[in-house]
Structure formats: C-alpha cells, structure tokens
A and B are shown apart, each in its own frame.
Chain A
C-alpha cells in the first residue's frame, strides 16, 4: 500500500516512467505477435515438409508428371505412401503487392495423408473429403472467414476475378467441412478431392495442350512418405534413393526445406529480440531514472527506517518492490494495448487474408515477465544504493 501511495505522490513522474515501460512492452507485444504469427506459419511449413518428401519435375522442366511414377516411387526402399499433388491459385488475377503469408490456394487432399504427416489438419466443423469426393471442398479456417462460408454453403472456385475474360472457368463446390485453425498455411487452403483437382488442372492447361494431355494421368507433384514417425534423416535417405533410382523426377531432401524455413524464422526471432532490446532501453532507463530520484528524495525516510530496525535487506526489498510494481503496471498496460491493437488490425485484415498477428500464451508470459524483470533489473542499482546508505548520513540529509 505504501508503494502505491509513494507512486501516487509523484503522479506525473510515475506516469511518465510507466509510459516508458508501456511503450516498450507495447512494441514487444505487437512485434512479438507478428513474429509469433510468422513463426507459427514457418513452423507449420517445417512440420509439413519435415515429415514428407516433395517430388517434382527435374530442374527447368514443367511440373507435369505421369501418374505411372507413383508405382516407381512406391518401389523405392522405405517409401510407405505416395499421393499425387495439385495446387492452384484460388484468387487468380489478384494483385498481391505485399504478401505476408501464403496466398489463398486450392489443393488436392487425400484424407489418408493425415495418417503420415506430422502437421495434422483436423476438421472442426462438418466432415472431411472422401477418396471419391466430387464437387466438395474443405476450407481452411481463414479462407472460410474471408469468404464468410459455413458448412453447406457453396463456393465458386477459383474465385472469378473482377476483370475475368469470357473464357474464365470456375466450378461450384459445396463446403462439407471447415478445418480447425492451424495458424499456418492450411488456414488459407481450399482442399478438393483428387478427381476435382484433375479437373481444375485441365482448366489450367494451355488450350494447345488440353487435347494432348489426359489430366487424370498426370500430377503436378507427388508427396512421398516413409513410415509414420520416420526421422528427417530417414526421409533424406529416401529422397536420395528416389533421385538415384527414379528418372524424370526430382526429390527434395526434407532437411533442406526445413533449413530454409528455419532461416526464415530466424529473421522474425531477430525482430522480436530487437523489440525486446527497445523495451529494455526505453523502459529500463526510465525506471532507473525514477528510482534513483526516488532514492535521492527519500534519503531521510531510508535513514529513519534503518534507525527503527530495518535491515539492508528490508530496504532493498521495498525499493525493488516499487520498481517491480512500476514494471508490472507498465507491462500490463503495454500488453493490453498491444493485444487491443493487434486484434483490431487482425479484424481489419481478415477480409483480405491479412491477419498478421498471433498472441500466444508464451508471448503473454514473455511480455509480462519481461516487464517485471525489467522493473526488477532497473531497480536493483537504486535499491542497492538505498539499502547501503549509512543511517546517520541519510537522517541528516537535507532534501
């Protein structure tokens, strides 16, 4: 109570100090939420690509692969399952000048793939596709929000651009399921069955090739799996064997893909660290300044407390508690403002798939813990100064 009253007695100074922490923690929260969003995105990618082997066309060739390759791939030692892959832009013609995440994409989905991949995409509402699904789609949580679709609704895919040419083709799909949020790429994916994906591939083929290619006999890529739970080293070895034994394809080693995701994550970790340092500098210096002034102004109080029996540790604790309280108040306000702003921006960006922030329990703990630690750290020197004061000198000080 005395601590609160001491802060209240010097209202302007306390407010300015707390404001310093607020700014620091606000920066930490917003930048941290952005980093958490991107890290979740990249982590999802690392999990997906770290548990599968992507097989495409050899370098420099168009990615149209014969389905017969599935049998060849299955012959390779260690391969447990192979799925054909198809992917299309869900909003063709949209101008993504600044892209903060994967674009809305239509992908083929075989429910059996969930058995093998480490990145699980459970259905939250409705049901999953079946192996024979036609005219059905399962939407990721963000794309469902973006187009305000629920189970039972119909969605035309790909989405017709405003300036679509007369020969633009799309198809109506019934939404049969909506995935649980994953905070990663599947949130903006629309999954269709393989036969429908082959139909979309045919729509995408250049007119000159449509009559020469049977879309049911080709795939854009293959996703190859080892036994469920296979290590990345095992999968790398399988990728090497595929490249060695199967002609006309290129298998990417999962470890190479995961490394690329991790280096991307490092950038965002650096952003968080920079925000934390900013918070440390701004908030920490203001707390140090305030506490040094508080100690200087209260020499006689400290002397009196020591005269009536306070130990060095008592005085140290009291001043540290004051610094920690400043840190906590500033941290709580800064965090609350950060959460409010990121929620508002996410809400505003939802309609254009621009949700950039993710508040996680870890971020909450870091922001509040950091604020308290900052207060304590910044309060240590002034508190030591107060605690070590000679009582006679302190009592005789004229403020």
Chain B
C-alpha cells in the first residue's frame, strides 16, 4: 500500500479577482519508506503540496490518502489527530518552543496525542541519543546552534513513530557542513525507522541524496524519477 496517494489534487487561491492555481491536478503515489525530494522554483507549488500532504491545508479538489485513508473529508480535529499520529514535520526555522527545554520540545506532540507520556519519555531519550543530543536535554533552544536545533526538530518529528515525515527546506537555515550532517541523519533515520520522508528543498545536495526526485512547475508535476546514486 502507498504511504501517500494524491489523486488529481488542486489548490486554488483567490487574489482579488484573479485565481492563482498553486497546484493543478497533481496525482502521485509515494511508497512506504521512500525518501522523496520535491524540487522546483519559488512559486512552483512545492510548499502547497507539502501542506496538503501534511493536512495543514484543504484541497480545492482531489483527494489526499494517507495509508489508504482519504483525509480530504475528515473534520478539523480528525485531521489534527491524523497529523499527530501519522505525520511528523520539520521546518526550515526549526519552530522549537522557547519556553521548553530540548527534552520537552521533543515530547511536545505527546501532549496532544493519546500516547503514554512514560513511554514517550523513553522514546524521546532514544531519539535524542540518535541525533547525538543526549547531553543537551535540559538546554533551551536559544542555547543551541542552528544544526542542533534542527536535530531536536527531527527528533520531535519522530516522537510519535509517524509513517511520514515532511520537511520544508530542513537545511535552509544551516551551513553546508551542517546541512550534510542533517541529510545523513535523516537518511539514517529513514532506513532505521522505515519512515517515509518527503522533503521540499532548493538544496541540490539534499535533493540528490533522495531515492526519488519530483519536479514541480506552475503547480504541475513536470518530472518524477528515481535518483541514481553512485555506487
């Protein structure tokens, strides 16, 4: 079964009298455990596509199926539940809560899902060890570097054992070396956890390390091909 299935997905916005076709009839299937990058120029519809997959937006028409379940017709709270249980998010600006320490930030999604906090704490410690931040549990976000903050965000995205992790320019705010480390970490977690990663990026290095690269232009898929890795 596909992890994500998009059926003739469109998203139109009104801007005054004009209608902007941010996404225009996109159909895609992304399999479980795939690592997919979505590339395209600014305004090509990448972020809109990611927001629709992440159930943060409702499509104008078409369907979004997550693990076979049509999420298009779910009510807001059901969509929130599905996000909490099946989808993890990584943002360019990390979006860590400044009032919480590293461990609390990673455990934040547990607050809104039915997971047991005791189990979640163990999972959070395990993830923080995986992202090499075990020695920073009590630190506040402003005491960490950009790369460290993004590693916290990656751990947070995985806390509820989601089927899918969506990344919106996850390496957009860090230097090249940190970017490579983060890509390596996400790939490793993709393999270790078997989680589907869908990453929107301008970073060609990141896009090139995906299993599959989808190109968008003017809201349409213009390319969709496996990435050939050097042996």
Q: Do A and B come from one complex?
A: yes
Enumerate chain B residues within 8 angstroms of A62, measured Cβ to Cβ.
none
> Contacts of B98 on A, CB cut-off 8 Å?
9
- Classify the secondary structure of A's interface with B: helix
Q: Does B54 contact A (CB under 8 A)?
A: yes
| Shortest Cβ distance from residue B120 to the other chain A in the assembled complex, whole angstroms | 12
Cβ A312 vs Cβ B76 within 8 A? yes
- Which residue of chain B has its CB nearest to the CB of A4? B99
Contact pick for B113, options A301, A303, A309, A312, CB 8 Å: A309
Interface assignment of B83: CB less than 8 Å from any CB of chain A: yes
Q: Are B56's CB and A308's CB within 8 A?
A: no
Give the segment of B23-31, B84-92, B197-205, B207-215 that binds chain A. Answer: B84-92
Contacting pair B97 A2 (CB below 8 A)? yes
**Do residues A6 and B85 form an inter-chain contact, with CB atoms below 8 A?**
no
Which residues of A (1-36) have their CB < 8 Å from a CB of B?
Answer: 2, 5-6, 9
Complex alpha-carbon distance, A2 and B140, angstroms = 12
Name the one of B57, B76, B99, B156 contacting A308, with C-beta atoms under 8 angstroms.
B156
The answer to whether A300 has its CB under 8 Å from any CB of chain B is: yes
B81 at the interface (CB under 8 A from A): yes
Partner of A307, one of B56, B100, B111: B56
CB distance from B64 to the nearest CB of A (A): 14
Measured CB to CB, the closest approach of chain A to B83, in angstroms, equals 5
Contacting pair B112 A308 (CB below 8 A): yes
Number of contact residues on A: which range applies?
Answer: 20 to 34
Instruction: Pick the residue among A9, A301, A309, A392 that contacts B112 (CB under 8 A).
Output: A309
Q: Are A305 and B99 touching (Cβ within 8 A)?
A: no
Give residues 287-303 of A contacting B (CB, 8 Å). 300-301, 303
B84 and A2 contact, CB distance less than 8 A = no
B132 → A minimal CB distance (Å): 22
**Chain B residues, Cβ within 8 Å of A363:** none
**Chain A min CB distance to B63 (Å):** 19
| A309: B residues at CB distance < 8 A | 80-81, 83-85, 109, 112-113, 160
In the bound complex, what is the Cα–Cα distance between A310 and B85 (angstroms)? 11
Contact with A along B47-81 (1 / 0, CB 8 A): 00001001011000000000000000000110011
> A304: which B residues are within 8 A, CB to CB?
89, 91, 95, 97
In the assembled complex, which residues on chain A have CB atoms less than 8 Å from the CB atom of B97? Answer: 2, 301, 304
Is B183 interfacial (CB-CB < 8 Å)? no
**Taking the complex as formed, is A395 at the interface, i.e. its CB lies under 8 A from any CB of chain B?**
yes
**Quick check: B77 and A312 within 8 Å, CB to CB?**
yes
Assembled-state Cα–Cα distance A5/B56 (Å)? 28
Complex contact B51–A305 (CB within 8 A): no
| Contact across chains for A392 and B83 when beta carbons are under 8 A apart | no
Residues of A within 8 A of B32 (CB): none
Q: Return the contact of B56 from the options A301, A310, A311, A391 (Cβ within 8 A).
A: A391
Q: Which A residues are in CB contact (< 8 Å) with B109?
A: 308-309
Quick check: is B174 within 8 A (CB to CB) of the other chain?
A: no
List, in ascending order, chain B residues with CB within 8 A of A305's CB: 108, 112
A contact residues around B104 at 8 Å (CB): 2
User: Could you say which residues of chain B place their CB within 8 Å of the CB of A311?
Assistant: 76-77, 80-81, 112
Q: Which residue of A lies closest to B166 (CB)?
A: A307
A301 to B95, CA, bound (A): 7
B-binding residues in A (CB < 8 A)? 2, 5-6, 9, 300-301, 303-314, 391-392, 395
Known pairs A309-B83, A309-B112 / 12 extra A-B pairs, C-beta < 8 Å: A2-B97, A5-B100, A301-B95, A303-B95, A304-B89, A308-B83, A308-B84, A308-B108, A309-B81, A309-B84, A310-B80, A395-B91
Nearest 7 A-B pairs (CB), nearest first? A309-B84, A309-B112, A5-B99, A308-B109, A304-B95, A310-B112, A311-B77
